[in-house]
A and B are shown apart, each in its own frame.
Chain A
Amino acid sequence: MDLTLLLWAVANGVMVGSIYGLIALGWVLIYKCSGVLNLAMGELTLIGAYLCLTIYTFLIKIGHPLPFASALFLTLLACIVMGYLTERIFLDRLIGEPVLTVIMMTVGLMFVFRGLVGLIWSTDTRIFDPPVFSYDAFIVGGIIIERVYLWSMVAALSLWIIFYLFFKYTPWGLSMQATADDEMAALSLGISVRFVYSAAWIIAFMTAAVGGAFLGAKNGLNISVGELSLLVLPAVVLGGLNSVPGAIVGGIVIGVLQELSGFLLDPYFPGGVKDTAPYVFMVLFLLFKPYGLWGWVRIERV
Chain B
Amino acid sequence: MNGATASHRDDVLLELDDISMSFGKVQALAGIGMKVRKGEIHSVIGPNGAGKTVMMNCINGIYQPQIGNVNYKGEKINKLRPHKRAALGISRTFQKIELFGGMTVLDNIRLGRHMHLKTGLISGAFWKGKTQKEEIEAREFIEEEIIDFLEISHIRKKTVHMLPYGLQKRVELGRALAFDPELLLLDEPLAGLNLEEVEDMARYILDLNEEKRWKMTIILVEHDMGVVMDLSNRVLVLNFGNAIMDGTPDEVRQNPEVIKAYLGEEDLYATRR
Partners in one complex: yes
Asked if A191 and B115 sit within 8 Å, CB to CB, the answer is yes
User: Which of the candidate stretches A4-12, A43-51, A169-177 sits at the interface with the other chain?
Assistant: A169-177
Asked if B125 and A170 sit within 8 Å, CB to CB, the answer is yes
Q: List 29 A-B contacts (CB under 8 A).
A: A169-B127, A171-B114, A177-B100, A178-B100, A181-B103, A182-B99, A182-B101, A184-B62, A184-B98, A185-B99, A185-B100, A185-B175, A187-B62, A187-B81, A187-B82, A188-B86, A188-B91, A188-B94, A188-B98, A189-B86, A189-B91, A189-B111, A189-B178, A190-B83, A190-B115, A190-B179, A191-B115, A193-B83, A194-B81
Considering the complex, give the chain A residue whose CB is closest to the CB of B87: A190
Is residue B77 within 8 Å, beta carbon to beta carbon, of the partner chain? no
Interface of A is mostly: helix
Count contacts between A and B, CB distance < 8 Å. 66
Interface size on B, residues (CB 8 A): 30
* Pick from A170, A181, A192, A193: contact of B124, CB under 8 Å: A170
Considering the complex, give the chain A residue whose CB is closest to the CB of B61: A187
* Pick from B100, B114, B117, B124: contact of A182, CB under 8 Å: B100
Interface size on A, residues (CB 8 A): 19
* Pick from B83, B102, B179: contact of A187, CB under 8 Å: B83
Asked if B81 and A184 sit within 8 Å, CB to CB, the answer is no
Asked if A170 and B111 sit within 8 Å, CB to CB, the answer is no
Q: What residues of chain A lie closer than 8 Å to B111, measured between beta carbons?
A: 174, 178, 189
* CB-CB contacts below 8 Å: B149-178 with A: 175-176, 178
Considering the complex, give the chain B residue whose CB is closest to the CB of A166: B125
Asked if B127 and A189 sit within 8 Å, CB to CB, the answer is no
Q: What residues of chain A lie closer than 8 Å to B94, measured between beta carbons?
A: 184-185, 188
Please encode chain B, from 111 to 131, with 1 for each CB lying within 8 Å of some chain A CB and 0 for all others: 110110100000011010000
Q: What residues of chain A lie closer than 8 Å to B62, measured between beta carbons?
A: 184, 187
Bound complex: CA A191 to CA B83 (Å): 5
Considering the complex, give the chain A residue whose CB is closest to the CB of B124: A171
Is residue B92 within 8 Å, beta carbon to beta carbon, of the partner chain? yes
CB distance from B107 to the nearest CB of A (A): 9
CB distance from B85 to the nearest CB of A (A): 8
Considering the complex, give the chain B residue whose CB is closest to the CB of A175: B114
CB distance from B136 to the nearest CB of A (A): 15
